[in-house]
Every structure is written in structure tokens, then in C-alpha cells.
């Protein structure tokens, strides 16, 4: 069975934006965001940048908890879905809930990829690839700077 959050080549060919599963947006951007955020947080979440490979705070952590988006605190991933993909960024095979991630085609840097963003605040998180483990076969490759970890108690 194909996971409902998978983006097909047909979707990409049509140039469609997959947000049918996205929640209603709130708190997209505030006027003073750039001044409030650390430079790296703003660059990654709002200008679609990325942290350098293997340099992210959450790359090697195995701490149980929920990974939230830096911008608004929305829960994105659970530690049970985190795995070491060897790519150099934190990797997860499934979001915490179906409606927390929004995906769209990204053709920047001469590549064809699927960008993932927070469905509520539009923060750029990273990309999703179809080479992950079961049960989804997906690998959400996420920038550490876009995340905060809320440890289980």
C-alpha cells in the first residue's frame, strides 16, 4: 500500500502542490521574524537554506521525545521514527501525524526533489526521498536548525 503522504511522478508532472493533508495555516510570518531568529534559523526556515552535512545538533541524538518545528513549536516527528540514514542530517521515516508536513516540488540547484515544510507556518524543513525503511519507504531528511527536541519525561 502506498502511504497517503507520498508524492507521485504524476503529481510532479502536473506541478501540483500537495497540501490536501495540511492543516489550516496560522502564524505564517511575523514582521520582526528576521530580527528575532538566529541568522541560521532564519536562513534555513525562511530562505530555504540548509545546515552543513553532519553539523546539526540533532543528527546523532537518540534521545526519546518529540521533534518540533523551531518556528512555531508544532510537533513534527517522534523519536521512534528516527533512523541513521548515513546522509548527514536527522532522518525520519514518518511524521508524528499525517497533517503536519506539506510537500512540494523543488527544482533548485539543478536537482528534482521534494521539499517538506511545516503545514502550519510554512517553515522549510528539508526534503523527503523514497529510499527510507519500512513501513513507509520514505526518508525525511531534515535540517537540525529547523527543529527543537522536546524530550520525553
What DSSP designation does 112 have? Answer: -
Taking CA 83 as the corner, what is the angle to CA 95 and CA 1, rounded to the nearest 5 degrees?
55
Read off the pTM: 0.74
The answer to whether residue 4 is domain-embedded is no
Residue 10 has what pLDDT?
39
Report if residue 50 sits inside a domain.
Answer: yes
**Res. 133 pLDDT band, cuts 50 70 90:** very high
Could you tell me the CATH number of the domain that includes residue 83?
2.170.150.20
Would you call 121 a catalytic residue per the annotation? no
Per-residue cell: 83: 533512523
Higher pLDDT among residues 139 and 40, named by residue = 139
- 96 belongs to a structural domain: yes
- Structural domain that includes position 125: 9-151
Does residue 2 lie in a domain region? no
Say whether pLDDT at 114 is over 60: yes
Domains contained in the chain, number: 1
* DSSP state at residue 50: -
Domain membership flag for residue 89 = yes
Kindly report the backbone phi and psi dihedral angles of residue 103, in degrees, each rounded to the nearest multiple of 5, phi listed first.
Answer: -130, 150
**pLDDT confidence tier of residue 83, bands split at 50, 70 and 90:** very high
What confidence score (pLDDT) does residue 37 get? 54
Query: Is 88 part of any domain?
Result: yes
Indicate which residue of 87, 118, 121, 141 is catalytic. 141
List, in sequence order, every residue forming a beta bridge with 141; answer none if it has no partner. Answer: 91, 127
Amino acid at each position: 500500500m502506498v502511504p497517503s503522504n507520498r508524492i507521485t511522478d504524476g503529481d510532479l508532472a502536473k506541478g501540483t502542490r500537495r497540501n490536501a493533508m495540511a492543516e489550516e495555516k496560522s502564524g505564517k510570518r511575523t514582521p520582526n521574524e528576521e530580527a528575532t531568529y538566529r541568522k541560521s534559523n532564519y536562513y534555513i526556515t525562511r530562505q530555504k537554506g540548509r545546515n552543513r552535512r553532519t553539523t546539526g545538533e540533532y543528527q546523532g541524538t537518540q534521545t526519546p521525545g518529540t521533534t518540533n518545528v523551531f518556528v512555531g513549536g508544532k510537533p513534527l516527528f517522534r523519536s521512534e521514527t528516527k533512523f541513521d540514514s548515513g546522509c548527514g542530517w536527522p532522518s525520519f521515516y514518518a511524521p508524528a501525524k499525517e497533517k503536519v508536513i506539506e510537500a512540494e516540488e523543488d527544482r533548485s540547484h539543478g536537482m528534482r526533489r521534494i521539499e517538506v515544510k511545516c503545514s502550519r507556518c510554512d517553515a522549510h524543513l528539508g526534503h523527503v526521498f523514497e529510499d527510507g525503511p519500512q513501513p513507509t519507504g520514505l526518508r525525511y531528511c531534515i535540517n537540525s536548525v529547523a527543529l527543537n527536541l522536546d524530550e520525553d519525561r
